Amino acid sequence: MAAPAAPSLLLLLAGAAGLSRAFFSLPLRVSQPASPRASPPAPLPLRPGSAGGGQRDAQDEAGGLALASDPAGSLNFLAMVENLQGDSGRGYYLEMLIGTPPQALNILVDTGSSNFAVAGVPDPDVTSYFNTELSSTYKSQGIEVTVKYSQGSWTGVLGTDVITIPKGIDGSYTINIATILESENFFLPGVKWHGILGLAYDTLAKPSSSVETFFDSLVRQANIPNIFSLQMCGAGLPVSGSGTNGGSLVLGGIEPSLYKGNIWYTPIKEEWYYQVEILKLEVGGQNLGLDCREYNADKAIVDSGTTLLRLPQKVFSAVVQAIARTSLVSLKSGGFGR
């Protein structure tokens, strides 16, 4: 069977304005959605078997965007609305059931990496972990894997097991999963997630791109369109009663109720991270006026797993100066009363 086409990513970002009025605007090069690659790469050797029924190549459906869902089928986009919790400072996580019988864990959604990994042993900074000895469906592949991030790293063992997403697509699916046995600055004090769901391209998968990614496995086994959309709500939009903020990870398409107006598209410059090209940056409606090469040095990526907007030094300095100017203008025009 041919390998799945590269996943398509749509980010629906919802946030609240801060106290200062120095809003950011990052226009991107815009285009219509690209069709799947005409010549897919060779099949990946590590292919977990399907836990569901018959399989059919989903590439025929991956060219268009699924804008509606069938509540009676495996895709019900409305059921996926607000399936994320977390906050913009610590990341957004999705509840997932892993193994047989199922063990419930919260999984960080990360478009900046490609491995699916969960805590496999107790850790002082996590409240739960995946105990492989309690799962009758877990199969170890005996392959050691190490993943390093911009902050933190972990080492574990690759295996497979069945997963179910309570607020996701229906059914159980067999997925490559790494159990984290050692980590450094990865699990942090106070975090409410116990693992990470890498949604980037298989190029970034460790120990090699032959490890089929989580989403590629879903596309192949569940026959869903090869697109997911991600909404992350900012600090001004908390989930009612939970004390956290929310968001939505829609697998297989787009939920129309989560956005207004037209969707703008930007091409992926290179398929590893979701690397895009930024043409300009505005602060308070004012263009910084830098050469676009400054914004993209050495790359510009869309990364849901980070908590910061990281900028090259020259761009960062220009942004700070622009915010200072904009804030002074706002204070002078608004003033303070006694």
**Cα–Cα distance, 280 to 287 (Å, whole number):** 7
**Phi, psi at 320, each rounded to 5°:** -60, -45
| Cα–Cα nearest to 108, from 249, 234, 222 | 249
Residues with catalytic roles: 110, 303
Strands 153-164 and 300-301, sheet pairing: unpaired
φ/ψ (deg, to 5) at 221: -85, -35
Tracing tokens 């398929």 back to the chain, one arrives at 271
Q: Which residue has the tokens 């041919």?
A: 2
Residue 266 in contact with residue 30, Cβ under 8 Å?
yes
For the chain, the distance separating the N- and C-terminal CA atoms, rounded to the nearest angstrom, is 73
Grouping H, G, I as helix, E, B as strand and the rest as coil, residue 202 is helix
Q: Are 246 and 82 in contact (CB under 8 A)?
A: yes
Q: Which two tokens stand for residue 33?
A: 């959605």
* The 3-state secondary structure of 218-245, one letter per residue: HHHHHCCCCEEEEEEECCCCECCCCCCE
* Region for 73 from its dihedrals, namely left if φ exceeds 0, alpha if ψ lies in -120 to 50, beta otherwise: beta
Q: Say if residues 132 and 158 touch (Cβ distance below 8 Å).
A: no
Task: Give every CB contact of residue 95 below 8 A, 6+ residues apart in sequence.
Answer: 83, 104, 105, 106, 107, 165, 166, 167
Backbone angles phi, psi at 232, to 5 degrees: -125, 120
30 contact partners, CB below 8 Å, separation of at least 6:
264, 265, 266
CA distance 329 to 104: 50
Alpha carbons 65 and 67: distance in angstroms, whole number: 6
